[in-house]
Structure 1
């Protein structure tokens, strides 16, 4: 999720002349300044947050500005973050055994490494070092996580286009990310690691250093969640992820802080799609709605991307539970022609 979602920019709301004077001469060890942090917001008035982090130190050094923005956006008091990947006691059955509604299920997390600058700020040499370190770990994965790494520069145009269309591969970031510096040196030292069945994928060098993805056709939310959990357990033993006890996992865009997790289903809801209150219904379930091709796209043939709306102030377990229950309710509403009260306790 990039920092752009079309609302009034929080940067302008919270940045005062006094705060500018206080922060404008500060610089992180990676050279990230206030000006660089807010460059994307200065370039694009339709940015919501207007700020990006260049490294972990950004969140501490520029906290007088960033923390109020993060609180405002998330509604979280930043009292502390706890991770919990347990599924004990939660429903784990198939949400769509007939295959009528759910086209695919996908969960991803963003991760950066503590000793490197994040993609907006990282230099060419450090980017190459980070890639080498990560690839060494990825190519050592075993079992269902075993796969191979492809540098972006090694892919044919046909393969690249096919994977992008299948939502398997990333492409250069949007204008907001471009202004933040994420697209520098494209496509050098970026790539994709994937298993033969494409159910486990790691993007290297996108908006965050790593986007770690578990996915599969159809439903199977519990299986996708467990696969991701297994991968994070292994990777976390060998890679030092950037995080702290207050903000959780550190990401380039503050909207992803906390769990840095987006759990989603691509789901066909033709009846509900015709209702003008679909987005409001999903919001009441704690869910966000995107189009068929992700953020800033429209639905096609009643197909929507439905995901958790909140990443900070919740655990990974909370996200799983909310998506499972919310999707179950949406399917019930679709089946009953949209007449079900989403607050009903019978589903």
Structure 2
């Protein structure tokens, strides 16, 4: 299977609008950090060690019967293609650095991503749509067990799985949910909720992980520590906090409708108008407007707009995908112009040249 397949479509499996509470929980991710015994951690290993780790991991997954995985080295990919994989959440921004001697092994349906030589030798990632903590864990654990049968994992009876960062030592598991929380953001309740979540041992980040912002009111909530807790305890804790956030978000949406319906409708339809007719559309404004339109659809205020198109535009609006779609490198203003044009076309406000030709022929 060729890596080109993963560059073509914007909507990956985790962006499909199904799964429990999919109107608020956009996706669930499980990530397992593992290292091989006898090798230094990636922060200090040699190029020869990196190549040997790469060879061993790839051999196990790619030589399996009926393997549905695609393998590629980061150094073999142009910058634009690495950026697209980051934008689709299939690799981390850290792995995109070609100097790390990294590689990625992707399943055909894009739910499994095995990153090699990132912060740890192996990072197994499973992403599923909606709230599916148990299902995502089982899928990641299956891949982990398969690798562990063939590879010598670095494991200590007292400390658990040994990892490059001490905060990952133990289960080596980070469980996270990506949540769309527009009502909590609009009402500014999110400002007091984030510190409360942190006190409960969880961390709140932007949609692209550590150091990223939360454009479009999309937040990633994950466990902070992995040592001293079992996998099931981590899943249970995150599930409980997620359930509370869902309840708070739903309550906030109800209050906005009850107390400020006209103002809310005005905001949502203005955003729909912006993404439908704008000639210049910066990424920050595009993310905010998409969040508003998504909220309008969830509340039944905005109709006849396909949620799958919004999911597609969330990815297509990113710099890497925009430039691939345009077939050229674009400066910032050029991206803003092209982004606006793409939004108008996908929301069917303006007909594309192809559709105009079809009408002429008819």
More helix by share: 2
> TM-score under structure 2 normalisation?
0.60
Matched residue, 1:49: none
- What secondary structure, in the 3-state scheme, does the structure 1 residue paired with 2:44 have? coil
After superposition, residues 241-260 of structure 1 pair within 5 angstroms as: 241-260=153-172
Are the structure 2 counterparts of residues 163 and 246 from structure 1 closer, same or farther at C-alpha, using a change threshold of 3 Å? same
Q: 1:286, 1:150 → 2: CA distance?
A: 36
Q: What is the deviation of 1:158?
A: 2.8
Bigger radius of gyration, 1 or 2?
A: 2
Q: Which SS does the other structure have where 2:215 is aligned?
A: coil
Work out whether 1:105 is the aligned partner of 2:18: no
1 or 2 for the larger relative contact order (CA 8 Å, sep ≥6)? 1
Distance 2:82 2:179 in 1: 25
1:155 is aligned to 2:155: no
Structure-1 separation of matches of 2:137 and 2:176: 11
| SS of aligned partner of 1:109 | strand
Quote the offset at 1:101 in angstroms. 0.4
Alignment of 1:273-284 (within 5 A): 273=185, 274-275=188-189, 276-284=191-199
The equivalent of 2:249 in structure 1 is: 334
Matched residue, 2:51: 128
State the shift of 1:135 in Å. 0.8
Aligned to 1:290: 205
1:320 is the counterpart of 2:242: no
Deviation (angstroms), 1:219: 2.6
1:41-120 paired onto structure 2 within 5 Å: 97-120=20-43
1:210 aligns with 2:133: no
| Residues 128 and 207 of structure 1: CA distance in aligned 2, closer, same or farther (over 3 Å) | same
CA–CA distance in structure 1, aligned partners of residues 86 and 133 of structure 2:
23
- Give deviations 1:164-188, integer Å, cap 9, x for gaps: 11221234479xxxxxxxx7x8153
The Cα offsets for residues 121-159 of structure 1, whole Å up to 9 and x where unpaired, read as 21111221121111101213457x731211112223332
Distance 1:217 1:136, change over 3 A: same
2:150 paired residue number: 238
Secondary structure, in 3 states, of the residue corresponding to 1:252?
A: coil
Secondary structure at 1:337 match in 2: helix
